[in-house]
Amino acid sequence: MGQLVYLDNAATTQLHPDVWKEMTPYFTEFYGNPSSIYRFAQTSSQAVENAREEIAAMIGAKPSEIYFTGGGSESDNWALKIIAETYRSKGNHIITSSIEHHAVLHTCQYLEKQGFDVTYLSVNEQGIIDLDQLKQSIRPDTILISIMAANNEIGTIQPIAGIGQIAKEFGVFFHTDAVQAFGHIPLNAEEMNIDLMSASAHKIHGPKGVGFLYVRTSVKLPPLIHGGAQERGKRAGTQSGRSLWELWYCWICCSGKTCSRSHERDDRIRERTAGLSDRKD
Ligand SMILES: Cc1ncc(COP(=O)(O)O)c(C=O)c1O
């Protein structure tokens, strides 16, 4: 059999060897429970919190706005259900696009069964939504716009800043599924008026089953999993493996070196993606 040429990096990526090397000590040496109070466990809890800080800095958020999850699907489900269930008294209309990942589309279908009304925006031949159509679809009872940052099949990058601007203007929450965008294109929650953002590590050479949901402080967030105090009481469960985030983060953004200045990170991301978003062919 010939050598395998793997071309399906949108489905998942190979774990980067540097990530593997860096994460191994957290399985074998620093295996303490990050929630334990003794010194031995502090190495792993520090790694979790370092990862939270780095990720927050990367997307222009506060560390307290980052919730580690079990991947992109969980983050998408949580985001949509948070807004739908918590803000139902304000309205029951949600806007999304027809080309979202199933993690969003099937959650919308579930919410429709719960009585929510969902508008599925169409896209043009490049797979881009129309901002005027978005504006026209907003109603007094609209509570959420959920539009993905980059599409998993065709790579289309949506005008996230423009969507965020409209959402802000109309006082509607904006969630973006950034699973295919995080680590590839600069994303800044503050500048782009993003209220919730989902991401997943295995799309950018990190481990599977690890993700995060960014939730702006002003959004009311009910717990997803009840139990321990992890993730500030919102998602209980021992944070095993969460420290791994730091490692793939370092590789993807900083070529193996930790850097916490956002302009350096953005420059590196731009170098890696130069020419991708303005290709005409
Ligand atoms: C755009 C998008 N959203 C969500 C997901 C789900 O992410 P995960 O596999 O981490 O659950 C994927 C994965 O294919 C995706 O491409």
Domain boundaries, the chain: 17-272
Report the helix count and the strand count for the chain, using DSSP H and E: 8, 7
Q: What is the pLDDT of residue 257?
A: 44
Q: What is the pLDDT of residue 130?
A: 98
- CA 41 – ligand 1 centroid, Å: 31
Among the atoms of ligand 1, which is closest to the Cα of residue 148? 1
Look at residue 92 and tell me whether its pLDDT is greater than 90: yes
Which fold does the domain 17-272 belong to in CATH?
Answer: Aspartate Aminotransferase; domain 2 (3.40.640)
Query: Under a CB-based contact definition with an 8 Å cutoff, are residues 215 and 75 in contact?
Result: no
How much of the chain, in percent, has pLDDT values that exceed 70?
85
User: Which of 69, 77, 101, 202 to probe ligand 1 with, by most ligand atoms within 8 A of CB?
Assistant: 101
Phi, psi of 174 (to 5 degrees): -125, 115
Look at residue 265 and tell me whether its pLDDT is greater than 70: no
What residue owns the CA closest to ligand 1's atom 8? 72
- CA 270 – ligand 1 centroid, Å: 23
Protein residues with CB under 6 Å of any ligand 1 atom = 71-73, 76, 101, 103, 148, 152, 177, 179-180, 200, 202, 211
Average pLDDT for residues 137-141, to the nearest whole number?
98
Q: What is the pLDDT of residue 127?
A: 96
- CA 154 – ligand 1 centroid, Å: 14
Among the atoms of ligand 1, which is closest to the Cα of residue 74? 11
Q: What is the pLDDT of residue 241?
A: 62
Q: What is the pLDDT of residue 258?
A: 44
Mean pLDDT of the chain: 88
Look at residue 260 and tell me whether its pLDDT is greater than 60: no
Q: What is the pLDDT of residue 273?
A: 54
d(CA 227, CA 207): 25
- CA 72 – ligand 1 centroid, Å: 5
Q: What is the pLDDT of residue 73?
A: 98
- CA 36 – ligand 1 centroid, Å: 32
Q: Which residue has the higher pLDDT, 32 or 272?
A: 32
Look at residue 220 and tell me whether its pLDDT is greater than 50: yes
| pLDDT digit string, tens, across residues 234-253 | 999 988 666 677 667 666 66
**What are 222's two structure tokens?**
């009910």
- CA 145 – ligand 1 centroid, Å: 18
Collapse the DSSP code of 271 into the 3-class scheme (helix H, G, I; strand E, B; otherwise coil) and give the result: helix
Return the number of other C-beta atoms located less than 10 Å from residue 275's C-beta.
6
Average pLDDT for residues 134-145, to the nearest whole number?
98
Average pLDDT for residues 87-100, to the nearest whole number?
98
Round to the nearest angstrom and report the end-to-end CA distance of the chain: 34
